[in-house]
Amino acid sequence: MRCPGCGVDNIPGVDACENCGTDLAGLDLPEARGGFGARLLNDRLSDLELSQPVLATPSTPVAEAISAMRERRCGCALVLDDGELVGIFNERHVLTRVLRRHRDPAATPISEVMSPDPLRLSIDDPPAFAVHCMVAYGFRHLPVLDGDELKGYVSVRNILEYIDKRHAG
């Protein structure tokens, strides 16, 4: 059992950390129903406040998407072709795919610099799925759909806000 105070691995069941004395009683007990771990699996993304993306079409100039991301204080643009989600463009792509490649933002269609066919989650998926995709695969923004309908996206910030609310409650 790892001590949350110092990180030392203790023998399961001990009451206090052998290294720093932090109280460990109860930490290794199965969590009560409704605990945070259960909520991560039992809550739904519909319980979170999702962010609303900037929407673009494949031919939208990158400069236009960047301006909209500024105005809306938004971390990503989702690219729809005929209503279907076909790509995602985020802050990192501005740096690595536009500026570092010396592309002119006004003359580059977003389809040339977006990530095609992004991972997407369902509004009925648990927050655990989003955390998993962010931690294990490094995704920052995950589009959330209800069937075919785009409901928004979930970001690291949305998850932090969710944790902030839940750990207090």
Partner 1 sequence: MPSRISRILGSVRIADLPRRRVCRVAPATTLGEVYRRLEEEESVAVLVEEDGVLVGIFTERDVLDRTALEADPATPVGELMTRDDLVTLDAGQPITDAIAIMTARRIRHIPLVDADGKEDGMIGGRDVLRLIADYYPETLLNLPPRLHQRLTRPEGG
**Contact footprint for partner 1 (CB under 8 A):** 2, 4-7, 22, 26-27, 31, 35-37, 40-41, 63, 66-67, 69-70, 73, 75, 91-92, 94-96, 98-100, 105, 117, 119-121, 128-129, 131-136, 156-157, 159-161, 163-164, 166-169
Q: In this complex, which beta carbon is closest to partner 1, that of residue 14 or of residue 134? A: 134
Using DSSP, state whether 126 is helix, strand or coil.
coil
Residue partners of 141: CB distance under 8 A and separation at least 6: 51, 53, 75, 76, 88, 90, 153, 154, 155
Specify the residue, 57 or 72, whose C-beta has the smaller distance to partner 1.
72
Instruction: State in angstroms the smallest separation of the CB of 58 from partner 1.
Output: 16
CB of 71 to partner 1, least distance (A): 10
The CB-of-132 to partner 1 minimum distance in angstroms stands at: 5
| Integer Cα distance of 158 and 153 in angstroms | 9
- Name the minimum Å distance from CB 5 to partner 1: 5
- Cβ proximity to partner 1: between 66 and 79 the closer is 66
As measured in angstroms, the least distance from the Cβ of 82 to partner 1 is: 13
Cβ contacts of 61 within 8 Å, gap of 6 or more: 105, 106, 107, 108, 109, 110
The partner residues of 84 in beta bridges, in order of sequence, read 81
Both structure tokens of 31: 């969590």
Q: Which is nearer to partner 1, 14 or 163 (CB)?
A: 163
Cβ-based nearer residue to partner 1, 44 or 99: 99
* Helix residue ranges per DSSP H, the chain: 36-42, 62-71, 91-93, 127-137, 156-168
